[in-house]
Amino acid sequence: MAISFLRTGFLVFVILLLDQIESQTVDEGDPNHWFQMADGELTAAINEAKGLNTNTAGGTILFIGDGMSVSTVTGVRIWKGQSEGKTGEESVLEYDKFPHFGYSKTFNTNSQVPDSAGTATAYLTGVKTKRRVLGLDAGINVGDCASTFGHELDSILVRAKNSGLPVGIITTTRLTHASPAGAYAHVPERDWEADSGLTPEAEANGCRDIAWQLMHGPVIDVIMGGGRMYFRTPDIPDEEEGTGGIRNQGDLIQDWKDRYGKMGSAEYIVSKSQLDALDTDDTDFLLGLFDRNHLNFGLDSADDILGNPTLAEMTEAAIKILKRKGNGRYFLFVEGGRVDHGEHINNGKKAIDDGLALEKAIAKAKEITDDNTLIVLSSDHAHTMTIQGYPERGHSLFGKVNSDDVGLPYTTIGFYTGPEAFSVQARLRELKKRPDLTNIDTDNKEYTQQAFVATFYETHGGEDVAIFATGPWSHLFHSVHEQNYIPHVMMFAGCFGDYQTSCRDSPYLDAARPGRIRGKSAGQPTQIAPEGTSAAYAQTPSWPTVLVVLLLAKLNQVL
């Protein structure tokens, strides 16, 4: 009995030791690690699904509020209510009604606080990577073109397209910006938006800029956003501002017209009025470039010469085109990108108002789709904005709280980092107190809230962000998840990409799921896991595993 007890205790000890060794030998630069982690979690969640919506999703829509931290969501909720003449706190956002909820861990493989490139790669390809990197795994060197070949990752958008679904991208930023670029581009540096931004090393080794990859890469049925200047040379006038582009070579907009015009009815538009007049029943491909740079903040929309459409208007047009083309099956990526930009300049009102514009787009999507549409909302990362100060119920979200300990008023919204801290710190050095806001209109849309740590651009936050979900298999979002888990659920729910075959085996898949495709799109060479493999992607055991297993076998003989 003593020997049996000793053996059992020793085995438990060694198993715990093995687990610790394994946790320290994980290679985060290996895409298999991220696929296997997400697949294991997905398997467990599927097996818990009893009596819930397990239909195959028709439409799959991923909304991203760039930089939309939990405090930003709260701010959007209050602002929605106060915009309607209510106290605000009791307001209900469209996605507050979604039945399933989780959190997303946003770190990059080399950064505790992430950027939008590394996070876009995670929630669009299913693999985490380094900060500033798009569509490549963490085995590459940031900014090094030569290190990238063989490390490319297909996004959920590309996998959907290769599975026969129409697909779309919508953003309020430049289409070459980090979040939308994660859907189609492969670059080791997010700033390579135009060929004029490429390094000599990148040019010498044949890397292409992000704009070129959008126009010459995967076929994308609907593309709407900003950034015209990244697609043209300086000698080509802009439709709105007259100033040409920043490319060294090429007219990529003309390239798009030539390429897509051969495939069907292809419409290029630049204004809200053109989008309003668009016949979505007779449009096969759509390119909407509504600004030379980013689209305006919603509060600045009156300043736009040609008129920017709202995110809700773009979303409605995209869904109509994609639903028709795919007979109800499609994938759409929608980003409210300027939430992030407002926070980066310490302008809480513009950030939160653009968050409300995203909420309206989600409401429109819910209105024109059915219960077999999977709609997911999340964020790429958080920010340093906070809501504080014990304001009374119904207090203006952008107003001032009575005073601090030295009698100076401060705003309900504030930031930890950002450019506004320069004036705050200067005042503290000079007068030992903050600037006095008594006679300042903090509700003005141009007002920028005070910050504590002076940075030229307010930084991101590293805390978890929310995931809201509704529709088929939305219950698979149910706890704290790694960010790269998101596209796995969406592909499984929609039966495309990596899960095009295995999702149909059974409503409740058991552990033995043969034939899972490892990170490749339909129609491409695949690496198939062996029959009966419990995880999707078989991995060679690491040397600590082999060593400990041999040790256990030997000790078992001795004991």
Residues annotated in a binding site for Zn(2+): 66, 340, 380-381, 460
Look at the chain and count its residues: 559
Neighbours of 48 (CB within 10 A): 12
Q: In what order do the strands lie in the sheet with 465-470?
A: 266-269, 285-289, 222-226, 167-174, 330-336, 59-65, 374-378, 465-470, 100-105, 480-482
| Residue partners of 291: CB distance under 8 A and separation at least 6 | 226, 227, 228, 240, 304, 308
Would you say 161 and 124 are in contact if contact means Cβ atoms under 8 Å apart? no
The CA-CA-CA angle for residues 408, 411, 412, to 5°, reads 130
Distance (Å) of CA 506 to CA 416, 476, 486, 522, 558: 49, 16, 21, 20, 45
* DSSP assignments along 430-455, one per residue: HHSSPPP-TT--TTSTT----EEEE-
Distance (Å) of CA 356 to CA 385, 447, 497: 16, 18, 32
Which entry of 116, 271, 378, 521 is annotated as an active-site residue? 116
CA distance 537 to 114: 27
CA distance 413 to 400: 9
Which residue is associated with the tokens 């058991």? Answer: 510
CA distance 59 to 91: 28
The alpha carbon dihedral of 281, 287, 289, 295 has a sign of: positive
Kindly state the tokens that stand for 54.
């397990």
Three-class DSSP category at 310 = coil
Task: Please give the distance of CA 238 from its chain centroid, rounded to a whole number.
Answer: 29
CA distance 507 to 43: 12
b/e per residue 222-244 (b: at least 16 CB within 10 A): bbbbbbbbbbbbeebebbbeeeb
116 is catalytic: yes
Amino acid making up residue 479: S
Name the burial class of residue 20, with classes exposed (0-12), middle (13-18) and buried (19+) by CB atoms within 10 angstroms of its CB.
exposed
CA distance 295 to 300: 10
Distance (Å) of CA 252 to CA 229, 287, 548: 10, 12, 57
Neighbours of 326 (CB within 10 A): 18
Name the burial class of residue 518, with classes exposed (0-12), middle (13-18) and buried (19+) by CB atoms within 10 angstroms of its CB.
middle
Provide the annotated active-site residues.
116
